[in-house]
Amino acid sequence: MSFSSTNDNSDNMIGFYKRACDIFVPEAEQVHIWDFSGQTTQFLNDRINLPNGSMGQSAEEILLELQVHGFSDSKNGRDESIDGMIEYDRKDISFDSGSVKMNGSSDYVISRSTPKNLSVSGCRYRRARFLGLTGLQNLGNTCFMNSAIQCLAHTPKIVDYFVGDYRKEINRENPLGMNGELALAFGDLLRKLWAPGASPVAPRMFKLKLAKFAPQFSGYNQHDSQEFLAFLLDGLHEDLNHVKCKPYIEVKDADSRSDKEVADEYWQNHLARNDSIIVDLFQGQYRSTLVCPICKKKSVTFDPFMYLSLPLPSTTMRTMTLTMLSSDGTTLPCPITVSVPNCGRLKDLIEALSTACSLRNDESLLVVEIYKNKIFRFLEEPSDSLALIRDDDKLVAYRLPKVTEASPLVVFMHELLDKPSELEKSVPNWKLFGIPLVARLSDHSNGSDFRNQYLKLLSPFLMPDDTLNDDDSGVTANEDSAMEDVPSINVSDGNADSDSETDNGPLFSNDFQFCIKDYHGRVTEIEMNKPLLAPSYNNRLEVHVLWSEKMVEKYDTCILSSLPEVFKPQLCTRRPQESVSLYKCLEAFLKEEPLGPDDMWYCPSCKRPRQASKKLDLWRLPEILVVHLKRFSYSRIIKNKLETYVDFPVEDFDLSTYMSHKDSHLCNRYTLYAISNHYGGMGGGHYTAFVDHGHCRWYEFDDENVSPVSEDRIKTSAAYVLFYKRVS
């Protein structure tokens, strides 16, 4: 343990000693302090006599070692002295020792030992049992919490703050806080982690307080360590906020003022409402610029941030296979394979497909996902991430003519009569098969229009039949009049009952039957010569086509049902691991991009929501920079994790070239001191932490297990949250 002191006030040494005893050894029977500075320090009647001439010296660092007697060694079960921070090699050192009693009491004996031939710079130190190398027990899927806590518990100024007298700064009146309970629970937990000779700590009380104020972390499910960290930092800030009553501050327009003047005003307004150790250490400021795509109105704000959430840009390409279908009835479905950025957007896929199929100017592409022989979802938002598409998904791209929005999209879904076997007693029913066919029709279409369009789409699937002459070649797109009088099946419900069959099959055994099914399962038959009365939903209409046995024999349903997966891995092949620099992640974060359709900006000039472009710039950096790598992507349909290897700096993370505002008084270079890792996939996996315990000595904290690890092993594709401290 080291203390920095100005020797102008000798009372500082007494204060340091009392503070050390209060923090680390409140119940110890005996304490030894070894003076590594080579000076002779005597504690007599709460006064310190320093060596002659020391009073006028400049500030220096006094290296002390605490030996605590009375604690039980958890490893061997016997009592022995537990070394605090460092232990020197005794074989080359001799001592002059003596002891005195404090205030006439025998409770605490201080042994003054001055190594005769010891110098701080030349001493050969060897590792003992260091303070802070204490694990956290896993209470049941609490590794996410343990990982983040260990990173915070090894943030130097956080440790110094919480082992000190932090209780006097707790704000119990803050309605946004947690009555100080979260800060007290965290402080108590941190002190236990830094107690000499501590065994692995069970953070039960801390978890109870956490669940009390954040029910989402109750129970024993796995959670996201970054989400927990964000809540914890925010909760500690509110519990320790010096501002008792937050003032209302109206934001002024920038007008013609400089960015620096406006940024400083924003920052001072923020500090007027938020003043805590968390703000001092973890919060920075970035400039946010919004530009309206229509009137070019610009809005500039300066917002605080607690951490940087960086995307993982793709440096490799992903191969995707889709099925291409045309709506002109001239070609069969064909698989088409394209290469797109691994972390690209839907617009990248559309551009690659358009080039591969030589899409004409009067055509457009509609990409959908097929699941269980029907369209599961329409992929229409250009900004959607391709990471949401899994390798085993089945996608179809339809080539459609560019038409007005008034023309509804018609989706034809095929159904076959599923007859039970002779041993089964179930009722025959209709089931979906094949790839849905898609076309556009006018608003006022009758049944014949649907039938003609469907036969046109089916024409490439027509089976060759040499036994039929030219006069009896079957039904084509131009020969539908003969089928108008064919009896139809009763479709009052979704199933064909036994009364609708003869020995030769269904009553309408020669043709197709068209119908529409609503959300309640009711079926409405489409009559050939009457206008369609059924409404379309979202300008789309689903038409179910019931196939007769004769039509099944007439068309090649095998080709109609062929649908490859997006990616089919070959045997004995592995995709190469993707690698990206942390600087590239930062550049992607700072890149100008349009807002999503669900995050529109209300333009004060246009007086309506606009899909504005947004640009972020770093303006003010915090002392502790937390970098969150966005490995997880979420949607209502799918969750995905990126296993990209991020090459991050350890010694020198230089952000000088990325700053929009240069401050000569602050350094923009950082060094890494902690990492929160996530191993495994979505919905599970395991969290650990790597921590630099000083002098590039790295340790792995895997719940209650703590072990040294070499620095060349801390860079892995599991790195999730990085902790940097400013280089002084």
**CB-CB contact of 382 with 346 (8 Å):** yes
Query: What is the per-residue pLDDT for 71?
Result: 35
Q: Is 334 annotated as catalytic?
A: no
CA-to-CA separations, 67 to 17, 70, 117, in angstroms, rounded: 13, 10, 21
Question: Quick one: pLDDT at residue 26?
Answer: 45
In whole angstroms, give the CA distance from residue 142 to residue 136: 9
**Cα–Cα distance for residue pair 698/674, rounded to 1 Å:** 9
Residue 8 has which token pair?
């102008």
pLDDT of 704 reads 95
Q: What are phi and psi of 391, to 5 degrees?
A: -65, -30
- How many whole angstroms separate alpha carbon 130 and alpha carbon 695? 13
Under-70 pLDDT residues of the chain:
1-130, 314-316, 404-406, 421-426, 442-445, 465-509, 533-538, 569-577, 634-639, 683
Q: What is the pLDDT of residue 275?
A: 95
Q: Are 519 and 534 in contact (CB under 8 A)?
A: no
Catalytic residue among 143, 357, 515, 603: 143
Residue showing tokens 């204490």: 134
Say what the pLDDT of residue 352 is: 93
pLDDT, the chain, mean = 77
3-class SS letters over 655-668: CHHHECCCCCCCCC
Structure tokens that stand for 395 in this block: 């996608």
Which token pair is 364? 């457009």
Note if 686 is an active site residue. Answer: yes
pLDDT confidence of residue 23: 57
Element (H, E) at 602: strand 601-603
Neighbour-count burial for 568-579, b at 16+ CB within 10 Å, e otherwise:
eeeeeeeeeebe
Q: Which of 69, 661, 686, 693 is catalytic?
A: 686
Residue 559 is classified by DSSP as H
The answer to whether 622 and 267 are in contact (CB under 8 A) is no
137 contact partners, CB below 8 Å, separation of at least 6: 200, 201, 202, 203, 703, 704
